[in-house]
Structures are given as structure tokens and as C-alpha cells.
Amino acid sequence: MIIKAANKIRSSEITSEDVFLKRRELLQAAGLALGATTAAMLPGAGIAASGDGPEGQKLDGVTAWADSTSEKQTPWAQATSYNNFYELGTDKTDPQKNASRLITEPWSVEVNGECAKPGKYTLEDILKPHALEERVYRLRCVEAWSMVIPWVGFPLSDLLKRFEPNGNARYVQFQTLHDPQRLPGQQYPVLQWPYVEGLRMDEAMHPLTLMAAGMYGRVLPNQSGAPLRLVVPWKYGFKSIKSIVRISFTETQPDTSWNLSAPREYGFYSNVNPTVSHPRWSQAKERRLDGDGKGLAALFAEKQETQMFNGYAEEVAGLYSDLDLTKNF
């Protein structure tokens, strides 16, 4: 009930965190022991009340996917303040700080290449026919950390089928928005801009591959790749390209940004694989980021073994049965 009410509050009416924290200090100073419920009843506290709960427009009519992992989810505050989105800065905390630069309205996606229905589709065109599903996936970064994120989206295959790819379409490439004003990280030649990623057609059509428009029941925050991003849970995180503006069906294997940057380190496939070591990070273990990052417990939390295909081997191993994964890393 409280959440519903909060949803109607416009962002302009939400108490800023600074003000809220000051108020909290004041209340504490007055010796008032206020529980979360009481705090939520304070006028104007709204959804900013917790200070780190999910924010943004709530998505309606989302159904729960049956195969979601029941592992502990990464708190919203951590999932939205520790991001690799170099277009918004190379420090993990930069994307959140620069998030407001990325204006996502209006948004359209260009579809081209080997398909019967190329063209420019508005975000609404893209989203309208699809029922939204919540899927809790593990996210494994090549930097040997991982999170558990409740995404909201729909199977990529449902979207791609609408464009009627033809027999020549063996791969699909995706491109992030290229706009150094809205994505100020693109003012620096850290990578070749725009960011591009790609999948083999059978990977793209796999039922686990998700086109996400939201997370934690809300629309995607900008630092997480609003308004439309890919989620490929059995591959390292950088394959899950953010803020997509172009989808191209191609006959030959498309360029991918990290492979262009360092081909020895990042292959086209980039499947999560604990047995293939990366030149920078051993991939045998991962640090699961599912706490609040506070206190000694956060320092001494034990790392866990990384699973083949990030634990999705049963579903996807068949895609690679004829491939040497050491060479095709």
C-alpha cells in the first residue's frame, strides 16, 4: 500500500537524500527511536525514505519467471552504484554520478541488415507487444565479481523474430548510443566508440537471452543501461550491452568493443569459464557482491567458485559442443 502511494510522487517532490539524512540526524538527536514504518509515514519521505531502496518508475503487469535463482539478491544501492559503463566514466562510481546526463526520451532503435523488416522503431514500438517478466539472474563480471539481479524484460528471440531475419542472418550486432553530450565518457578515447557487442544467432535466440527494460521492478536506471539493454547471463557482463540504439543482422562475425581493444584478453564468445584464465584475473573464483559493503564482514566474506557458463551449463552447453572453448574464449 505504501509503495503504491509512493509511486504517484513525482521525482521533483522526493526529498533529496541530503535533506533526508539531515532530518534523520535531527530525529536521532532528539532521541526519537523511529522505525522504518514511522519514517515512511513522514510527509514527503516517499520512496526515498530508505535512502537506498529501489527508485524510478514502477513497472506494472510484470509476471515472475519460474526458473529464477533463489540466491540472495544484490541490494539495489550496490547494484546501481558499482557499474562498468565507461560511457559514463571509468570508475565504478562514475556511472551513478553522471547518470543524469543520459537523457533517454525520445529513444529509438534502428534495425538493419539481413532481415525483412528493417527500420527505425521507437522505444514504444519495441516494448509494446511484449509481456514483461521478472527474471533473477546471476551476473558475472570478467573482473571476478558477481551480483544477483532481478531483471525485468522479455526474451530477445521474441523481439528479433518480429524483424524476420533471413537465411543470411548468422549473427546479430548491437550498438550503444553514441552521443558524447549524453554519454560524456565518450569524450575520451578509452574504447573505440560507439560500444558494439554481438552474438551468434543461436545465442541471441536462446530462451535465456533477455532484452531488459527494468530491474528491481522499476525501469532501468541510466547507469544500468536505460532504456534498453541486453542480459546474457552465461557470458561475462560486458557482453550485456547497455542503452541499445541499433540492432544489425549480419552474415559474418561482427566486431565487439573489448575484442577490438584487447583481442588477446577478450574473445567474441566470452562465456563464463573458470578453467580459462584471463591475463589479468584468475576466473576460478568470484566475489559475490550481495551485502551492503559495510564493516569487517564485507572484508572477510568468502569468495565462491565460479561455475561453468555461470551456472547455466545445463541450458547452454549444447550451443558450444563443437567448439574448443580454450581457443574460442
Partner 1 sequence: MNSSGKITAVAHQTSSLRLSIWLKPVVFLMCLLPLLFNVTGLFQGKLGANPVEAILHDFGLWSLRLLLITLCVTPLQMQLRWGAVAKLRGMLGLFAFFYALLHFTVWLVLDQQLSFSSALADVIEKKYITIGMLALTGLLLLALTSNRWSVRRLGVRWKALHRIIYPLAVLTIIHYLWQVRANDVLEPAAYLVALLVLLIWRFIRMIKH
**Farthest CA pair distance, the chain:** 71
Q: Does 292 bind partner 1 (CB under 8 A)?
A: yes
Q: Does 82 bind partner 1 (CB under 8 A)?
A: yes
> Which triple of cell numbers denotes residue 278?
584471463
Q: Does 324 bind partner 1 (CB under 8 A)?
A: no
| Binding range to partner 1, per CB under 8 A, among 99-107, 163-171, 213-221, 279-287 | 279-287
Bridge partners of 123? Answer: none
- Comparison of 75 and 113: residue with beta carbon closer to partner 1: 75
Say if CB 242 and CB 225 are below 8 A apart. yes
Q: Which of residues 33-62 bind partner 1 (CB under 8 A)?
A: none
Interface residue with partner 1, options 23, 287, 313, 325 (CB under 8 A) = 287
Say if CB 77 and CB 52 are below 8 A apart. yes
Residue 27 CB, nearest approach to partner 1 (Å): 19
- Comparison of 80 and 209: residue with beta carbon closer to partner 1: 80
Residue 72 CB, nearest approach to partner 1 (Å): 14
Rg (CA), the chain: 21
238: which DSSP letter? Answer: G
Interface residue with partner 1, options 8, 10, 264, 294 (CB under 8 A) = 294
Cβ-in-10-Å burial (0-12, 13-18, 19+) of 167 comes to: exposed
Say if CB 71 and CB 85 are below 8 A apart. no
Q: Which of residues 231-270 bind partner 1 (CB under 8 A)?
A: 258, 261-262
CA-closest candidate to residue 14, choices 48, 38, 39, 40: 48
Q: Does 73 bind partner 1 (CB under 8 A)?
A: no
CA-closest candidate to residue 95, choices 29, 22, 182, 218: 182
**Residues 189-228, mask of contacts with partner 1 (x by CB under 8 A):** xxx-------------------------------------
Residue 309 CB, nearest approach to partner 1 (Å): 22
* Segments in 236-301 forming alpha helices (H): 257-261, 295-300
Q: Does 293 bind partner 1 (CB under 8 A)?
A: yes
